[in-house]
Amino acid sequence: MALIRLLLIALLALPVAAQDRFITVASTTSTEQTGLFGCILPAFKKDTGIDVRVVALGTGQALDMARRGDADIAFVHDRPAEDKFVAEGAGINRKDVMYNDFVIIGPKSDPAKVAGGKDAAAALKKIADAKAPFVSRGDKSGTHAAELRLWKSAGVDLDAAKGPWYRDTGSGMGPALNTASSIGGYILSDRGTWLSFKNKGDLTVVVEGDRVLFNPYGVMLVNPAKHPHVKQADAQRFIDWLVSPAGQKSIADYKIDGQQLFFPSAS
């Protein structure tokens, strides 16, 4: 065991940003891949000198990582899962931060004839009835959870209706969009990832604006009572900054092609 300790200490001497003041945030692929963090985190670092290290995973994986104490903060978009996280004592100080919306993406040829509709659930019902190809993330992410809720409210029993038309890929938003693009299928995506996605192919937005597609993001501190090593002071500082006017403005200012992706919602 002493030898292992010696080896670990030797390896710890790897001189790569190991000495910076930093916190670890478990977040989702949608926030990372849209480039939001790349935009707002430097502003926070400039103000406070704290480096924010983001590990981007699906919501389920992010919360699991936070539960294990491998992160200081969880920043995800699945309200039921977040409430459960706080209820079980894994997280504290939950705050609303921002929202974006989901959109239903589909091929320009629109085999299920849903384009232009304003009712997301109804559109999904039509897709299921037409057995048009549909790509699901299937990865316990916030997007996946929202998709499942939509099927339910559309009255579609997925287990019964499932067939070759429903592609459960078990992947992140980007890879799922890649799949949809190559098979010409429908998919539920968050607007931010869609706007910054570079392989749109023949796909376009077919349904948007429905209130149920509203996608709120919440931030939580990993409970220091359960994980004493959590960097409570610095992490709380980040949470406070996110909901502060300065942080909220940073979020609102982030645009792709002139379009705002995320809308501040801290009250």
Residue 197 touches other proteins, criterion: CB under 8 A: yes
Residue from 28, 30, 31, 33 that binds other proteins (CB under 8 A)?
Answer: 33
Least distance in Å: CB of 54 to other proteins? 6
Residue 200 touches other proteins, criterion: CB under 8 A: yes
Q: Which is nearer to other proteins, 39 or 161 (CB)?
A: 39
Per-residue interface string for the shown chain with other proteins, residues 215-244, x marking contact by CB under 8 A: ------------x-x---------------
Compute how many other C-beta atoms are within 10 angstroms of the C-beta atom of residue 105. Answer: 25
> How far is 191 from 18, CA to CA, in rounded Å?
35
Residue from 6, 47, 49, 70 that binds other proteins (CB under 8 A)?
Answer: 70
The number of residues that bind other proteins (CB under 8 A) is 34
Residue 38 touches other proteins, criterion: CB under 8 A: yes
Residue 18 touches other proteins, criterion: CB under 8 A: yes
Task: Assess contact for 133 and 186: CB atoms under 8 A.
Answer: yes
Residue from 2, 3, 8, 225 that binds other proteins (CB under 8 A)?
Answer: 8
Residue 17 touches other proteins, criterion: CB under 8 A: yes
- What is the rounded radius of gyration, in angstroms, for the C-alpha atoms of the chain? 20
Residue 14 touches other proteins, criterion: CB under 8 A: yes
Least distance in Å: CB of 155 to other proteins? 33
Q: Which is nearer to other proteins, 31 or 265 (CB)?
A: 31
Task: Assess contact for 206 and 102: CB atoms under 8 A.
Answer: no
Joined together, the tokens standing for residue 116 give: 């232009």
Q: Which is nearer to other proteins, 29 or 250 (CB)?
A: 29
Give rounded-to-5 percent helix, strand, coil for the chain.
45, 25, 30
Task: Assess contact for 57 and 26: CB atoms under 8 A.
Answer: yes
Task: Assess contact for 124 and 136: CB atoms under 8 A.
Answer: no
> How far is 124 from 161, CA to CA, in rounded Å?
12
Q: Which is nearer to other proteins, 145 or 173 (CB)?
A: 173
Q: Which is nearer to other proteins, 153 or 196 (CB)?
A: 196
Region from 83-91, 136-144, 173-181, 249-257 binding other proteins, contact rule CB under 8 A: 173-181
DSSP 131-142: T--EEE--SS-H
Least distance in Å: CB of 198 to other proteins? 4
- E strand segments, the chain: 22-28, 51-57, 73-76, 91-107, 134-136, 166-168, 186-190, 203-207, 214-222, 255-256, 259-260, 263-264
